[in-house]
Amino acid sequence: MTRGGSGSLPRYILQRILLVIPMIWVILTLVFFVLRVAPGDPVSAALGGKLDQQALDQRREALGFNRPLIAQYWDYLSSVVHLDFGTTFSDNQPVLHVIRDNGGATLTLTVAAFVIALVVGIPLGLLAGRYRDSVPDAGIRLFGILTYAAPVFFVGFLMQYYVAEPLGLPTSGDASPITVFEVQPKTHILLVDAFLSGNTDAMQDVLKHLVLPAVTLGLLVCGVFIRLVRVNMLQTMQTDYVEAAEARGVKRRNVTWRHGFRNALVPVITVIGLQFALLLSGAVLTESTFNWPGLGQKLVQYINNRDYGAVQGIITFFAIAVVVISVLVDIVNALIDPRVRY
C-alpha cells in the first residue's frame, strides 16, 4: 500500500485538495465573467424604475460597478476567499445572511430526501439485480425509470392533488405561522429548533410539512440508486470470486449476502457525491413546487427580480459546496477502499 509513498492516505487527501483549488478558481472566473460580460446593466436591471437616476448612480458606485472589470474581478475573488458572497441588489442584504436564513430549509429537505432515496432505492436495486429478468426485476426497473422520467414538479403536482388532500397534509411552506412564531430560532434549521423546543405540536407540524416535499425529491434520487445498485449487483454476481464461492459449495443465500450485496454497495458511496448535484437541482424545483422557503426558491425569486448580485452570490456558494462535497466523498471513499488511492 505504501509503495514509494504514493499510495498513502494523507498524500492522497493533500493531492485531492490541491487539485480542487484551481477547479474552484476556474468556476468562480466563469461565474464572474458570464454574469458580468452579459449585456445590460445589473443595477438598473434590478432596481430600474424603483429608484431615481441619482440613487442608481450612488448604488452603482457603492457596488463598485464604475471600476475597471479586472479590479472588480479581483475584489470578487478576494471577498469569496473571505467567505463573503456579496450583497443582493434588490433588498440590499448580505448574501451570507440569505444563505444562513434559507440554507437550513434546503439542508433539511435534501437530507430527508436522501434518506428516503437510500432506504427505498438500495433494497429495490439489490432485489432487481439478484433476480435479473424476473417479474420483480421488470417492475422495479420500470419504477426506477418512472422516478427518473417524472419531473419533480409533476410528482409534486400529483402529490398535491391525489395525496395531500385525502391525508390532510400541507402543501406549502415548511411550517405553519404559529410554529414559526413559537419556536425559538437557535440553529436556523427549523426541524432541529422544533425538536430542541420540546413542543410536540411544533414537531408534528414541521414533520407534516416535510413529508410531501421530501418524498417527492427522494423519489427522484431513488431511481438513480435503483439503477446503480442493480447494475453493480449484476456485475458483482458475474465476478470470479462469486463463482469461486459458488464452486466451493457456499450456500446460495450466503453467496448473495456476503459476496454479492456487500461488494455491490461500495460504488454507491462514490455516487452519493455525484448525486449531490442532482439533489441540488431537484431541490430548486421541489422548493418552487411546494413553496419551501429554501435557498433554491430564493434563487428563483432573485432571478425573477433580475438581481445579479444575489444570483452571483448564491451560485458561487452552490458551486463551492458541490466541489467541496465531492472532495469529501472522495476522501471518505479512499478511507474505505484502498484501491482508490493510486
Partner 1 sequence: MRRLVSVLGKPFTETTGLARWMLVAGVAITALFLVFAIFAPWLAPYGFAQSSSHGVEFPKAGAPSHAHPFGTDRLFFDVLSRVIWGARTALEVVILSILFCVVLGVPLGIVSGFYGGWLDRILVLVMDALYAFPSFLLAIVVSFLLVNVYGGSVIAVSLSLTVVYIPQYYRVVRNTTLSAKEATYIEAARAMGARDIRIMRKYLFGNVIQSVPVLGTLNAADAILTLAGLGFLGLGIQSTEAAEWGHDLNRALADAGSGVWWTGLYPGLAIVFLVIGLTLVGEGLNETLNPTLRRRRLLPVVMPPRTATTSIPEEQS
- Binding residue (CB under 8 A) for partner 1 from 56, 169, 192, 322: 322
- Binding residue (CB under 8 A) for partner 1 from 108, 179, 236, 288: 288
Within 28-57, the residues that bind partner 1 by CB under 8 A are: 30-31, 34-35, 38-40, 45
- Is the dihedral angle over the CA atoms 301, 305, 310, 316 positive or is it negative? positive
Within 60-119, the residues that bind partner 1 by CB under 8 A are: none
CB of 104 closer than 8 Å to CB of 193: no
Q: Per CB under 8 A, does 215 bind partner 1?
A: no
DSSP state of 184: P
Span interacting with partner 1, options 55-63, 99-107, 241-249, 279-287, rule CB under 8 A:
279-287
Q: For cell 408534528, what's the residue?
A: 204
Give which of 30, 32, 13 is closest to 334, Cα–Cα: 13
Q: Per CB under 8 A, does 266 bind partner 1?
A: no
Query: What are φ and ψ of residue 94, in 5° steps?
Result: -65, 135
Q: Using CA atoms, how far apart are residues 326 and 334, in angstroms rounded to an integer?
A: 12
231 sits in the region (left: phi over 0; alpha: psi -120 to 50; else beta) called: alpha
Which residue number, 120 or 314, has a Cβ lying nearer to partner 1?
A: 314
Q: Using CA atoms, how far apart are residues 193 and 36, in angstroms rounded to an integer?
A: 39
Which residue number, 170 or 191, has a Cβ lying nearer to partner 1?
A: 170
CB of 255 closer than 8 Å to CB of 245: yes
Q: Per CB under 8 A, does 300 bind partner 1?
A: yes
Span interacting with partner 1, options 90-98, 246-254, 257-265, 316-324, rule CB under 8 A:
316-324
Q: Per CB under 8 A, does 331 bind partner 1?
A: no
Which residue number, 140 or 202, has a Cβ lying nearer to partner 1?
A: 140
Span interacting with partner 1, options 69-77, 119-127, 187-195, 272-280, rule CB under 8 A:
272-280
- Binding residue (CB under 8 A) for partner 1 from 64, 78, 154, 241: 154
Q: In angstroms, what CA-CA distances link 279 with 66, 78, 155, 207, 220?
A: 38, 29, 15, 20, 8
The total of other beta-carbon atoms located within 10 Å of residue 80's CB is 20
48 three-state secondary structure: strand
Which residue number, 30 or 71, has a Cβ lying nearer to partner 1?
A: 30
Q: Residue 114 is which amino acid?
A: F
Count of positions (residues) in the chain: 342
Residues that bind partner 1 (CB under 8 A): 22-23, 26-27, 30-31, 34-35, 38-40, 45, 133, 137-138, 145-146, 148-151, 153-154, 156-158, 160-161, 171, 231, 234-235, 277-278, 280-281, 284-285, 288-289, 299-300, 303-304, 306, 311, 315, 318-319, 322-323, 326
